[in-house]
Structures are given as structure tokens and as C-alpha cells.
Amino acid sequence: AAPVALISGMSSMSRHHIIIKSGPTIEKLSRAKTFAFDKTGTLTQNKLEVGDIVPEAGFSKEELQSLAASVEQQSSHIIATSLVGNTPKEAIKTVEDLKETTGQGVEGTVDGKLVKVGKYSFVADGEVPTVNATAIFVSINGQYAGYITFKDMIRPETKDTIARLRRQGAEEIMMLTGDHQNVADQIGKAAGVTQVRAELLPKEKIQAIRNVPEQQRPVVMTGDGVNDAPSLTAADVGIAMGAKGATAASESADAVIMVNDLSKINDAVAIGKHTMKVAN
Ligand code: ADP
Ligand code: MG
């Protein structure tokens, strides 16, 4: 394509709050065949509602929430920001030796106690309690202490965005998530995706992108946060979403959607197609 057409395409994208870092991204967007999405915060709303707080015997709800929110205070994961935002400030305590493991959870010392928050396998041994919702589990000094559930709600624009992507020529639409199969299936069905891949570790998300066959490419991956950066890099086009545009996720992305609106993906594809038509 003539560079001038690509420059005009990039400026049209920016008027739609889509920042494109290079011309070839526009060309790939125009003929993308596979779209992969992270679930939490991308197909679903970027804020989760706290659901049930369920402590084990010997722990109170307040204690469980306070300790969990304290170790989550520095994490940018949407579970963390949602929990911290729903916890009174005075309940959030100083934390030491904080460590986050991407796709697993966080740990730290609060009031001299080692607190771990995340997937059950990250915090404790033994059989995973059955919880039919997006949840985090908590252990205190190695003892399992209970769990907190979240209501992960689909974005109002998700279903139409996916349907329009299919009309725009998308052949496969995959949802990739670290969350449980049952939560994932429910959201995937409501969204209208063609494939649901659940219970993935961060490296398995990357693998899912890399495994897209040549004839199903280009593959576009859209994610929200810092923890999606490696899978954005693995895609032919990585799109970071959200108003926190200048974060680590946007560094590894080819495009950034600067507003909290998933339907901008449709605009990006439409502008890409128009740009290439004009250019040729
Ligand atoms: P998703 O694919 O839904 O965006 P991730 O791969 O980021 O999820 O994380 C998968 C799971 O790991 C989460 O559902 C949660 O149980 C756990 N997890 C990851 N990061 C955190 C964190 N900061 N705090 C608590 N749990 C976490
Ligand atoms: Mg995520």
C-alpha cells in the first residue's frame, strides 16, 4: 500500500481513539481471520463485583477480605483492583515481601502472617473446593482460610461486537482464559465466540496463539492488562484495551484502544479494510 494511504488510515484510527503503531498493522487488520480475546476485563466488564466471602471455620469474613485486599493492593489484575476498590481503606494494611506470580496469584506478609491469594493450587494443597464462579482462594500461614467470589459480567457491547466481527469476515473467534471451564463456557456462549479455551496458564495462552495455522491468519489478540502482554506479542496483531493506555501492556501491543469500548475492534477492522481499498 502507498505509505500516504496508511498514514491517513492511522490518523482515521486515532480519531476513533485507536492508536496504531505502524502501517503494516493496518494491512493485517484488514484481512484478519482469527480473533482471540482474553475473558476477564476484555469480553467482560473491566470491574468485577464482589460476590460471596466464604471463610473457613476460625476466620471471619472481615479478616479474610482485609488480608486478601492487603496483598492485592499493588496488583494490576482486575480481580485485585476490584477487590481493593470494594474494601474500606482502613482495612487495607501494610504488606511486606510482596510477590506476584502471573496467572496464579499474589503473596505477602501482613501483620507477620504469610498471606497467599489466587488459584487454589497456588495457595493450598489437596482437592479444589467446588465454586461455580470466578473466585480467589486465600491461605494464611499455609492454612487454607476460605474464598471470595466475583460476578464477572459480560460487557453490554460484547455480543454485537462479536457478531459484527463475523460479518466482517472473521472465521474463528477464540476466548482464552485462566478461569474455570464452567464460568468460561457461560461467558463464551453469551458472547457468541466459536471457541472457548479455559483453565489456561499464561504460557498456554501464548501457545494457543502460536498454534493458529497459517491459513487462519492473521490472528489478532485483544487483552486488557499487563498480564496479557506475552500473548499480545505472540499474535500477528496485539491490541491492548483500556483507558490505562500507557501501561506495560501497550508497550507489547501493536495497537491500543484508548477507551473502554470493545466495539472499537470493529472500527479498527472497518478502517483497515477501507484503507487498503483506497491504497490499492
Ligand atoms: P484471565 O484469563 O481470566 O484474565 P488470568 O490468567 O490473569 O485470568 O488469571 C487466572 C487466574 O489466576 C484467575 O482467575 C485467578 O484465580 C488467579 N490470579 C491471577 N492473578 C491473580 C491476582 N493478582 N490475584 C488473585 N488471583 C489471581
Ligand atoms: Mg486477564
Interface predicted TM-score of the whole assembly (ipTM), two decimals:
0.96
Superfamily of domain 3-45+154-279: HAD superfamily/HAD-like (3.40.50.1000)
CATH 3.40.1110.10 residue spans of the chain: 49-151
pLDDT digits (tens, 9 = 90+) for 30-59: 999 999 999 999 999 989 999 999 999 999
The verdict on whether 38 is a catalytic residue reads yes
Query: Could you tell me the distance, in angstroms and rounded to a whole number, from the CA of residue 223 to the centre of ligand 2?
Result: 7
Q: How confident is the model at residue 144 (pLDDT cuts 50, 70, 90)?
A: very high
Whether the pLDDT of residue 67 is over 50: the answer is yes
Whether the pLDDT of residue 80 is over 80: the answer is yes
Contact 70, 95 (CB under 8 A): yes
- Marked catalytic residue, from 38, 152, 224, 228: 38
Nearest atom within ligand 1 for CA of residue 179: 14
**Distances from the Cα of 150 to the Cαs of 40, 45, 49, 50, in angstroms?**
11, 12, 5, 5
Q: Rounded distance, CA 180 to CA 192, Å?
A: 18
Question: Which residues, in sequence order, are bridge partners of residue 181?
Answer: none
Query: Could you tell me the distance, in angstroms and rounded to a whole number, from the CA of residue 73 to the centre of ligand 1?
Result: 15
pLDDT digits (tens, 9 = 90+) for 195-210: 999 999 999 999 999 9
In the block, which residue shows the cell 485462566? 178
Q: Is 132 exposed, middle or buried (0-12, 13-18, 19+ CB in 10 A)?
A: exposed
**Distances from the Cα of 257 to the Cαs of 68, 199, 224, 229, in angstroms?**
31, 26, 10, 15
Average pLDDT, whole number, for the chain? 93
Contact 34, 217 (CB under 8 A): yes
pLDDT digits (tens, 9 = 90+) for 123-141: 999 999 999 899 999 999 9
Angle at 266 between CA 232 and CA 76, to 5 degrees: 40
CATH 3.40.50.1000 residue spans of the chain: 3-45+154-279
Helices 3-15 and 264-279: crossing angle in degrees, nearest 10, is 160
> Percentage of the chain surpassing pLDDT 90?
85
SS3 260: coil
pLDDT digits (tens, 9 = 90+) for 200-259: 999 999 999 999 999 999 999 999 756 788 899 999 999 998 765 445 556 789 999 999
Nearest to 178 by CA among 78, 254, 45: 78
Protein residue with least CA distance to atom 4, ligand 1: 40
Residue 62's identity, in one-letter code, is E
> Percentage of the chain surpassing pLDDT 70?
96
Protein residue with least CA distance to atom 8, ligand 1: 178
DSSP state of 127: P
Q: What is the pLDDT of residue 245?
A: 47
Identify which ligand lies nearest to the alpha carbon of 71. 1
Identify which ligand lies nearest to the alpha carbon of 123. 1
Contact 209, 220 (CB under 8 A): no
pLDDT digits (tens, 9 = 90+) for 156-190: 999 999 999 999 999 999 999 999 999 999 999 99
Matching CATH number, 49-151, of 3.40.50.10800, 3.40.1110.10, 1.20.120.530, 3.40.50.10680: 3.40.1110.10
Contact 129, 136 (CB under 8 A): no
Q: pTM surpassing 0.90?
A: yes
**Exposed e or buried b per residue across 62-89, where buried means at least 16 C-beta atoms within 10 angstroms of its C-beta:** ebbbbbbbbbbbebebbbbbbbbeebee
Identify which ligand lies nearest to the alpha carbon of 134. 1
Nearest atom within ligand 1 for CA of residue 77: 23
Query: Could you tell me the distance, in angstroms and rounded to a whole number, from the CA of residue 112 to the centre of ligand 2?
Result: 30
Q: Rounded distance, CA 56 to CA 64, Å?
A: 9
CA–chain centroid gap for 173, Å, is 15
Residues with CB under 6 Å of ligand 1 are: 38-40, 72, 75, 77, 79-80, 100, 103-106, 117-119, 134, 136, 177-179, 227
Nearest atom within ligand 1 for CA of residue 202: 6
Q: Who's near 49: CB < 8 A, 6+ residues apart?
A: 82, 86, 150, 151, 153
Q: What is the pLDDT of residue 247?
A: 56
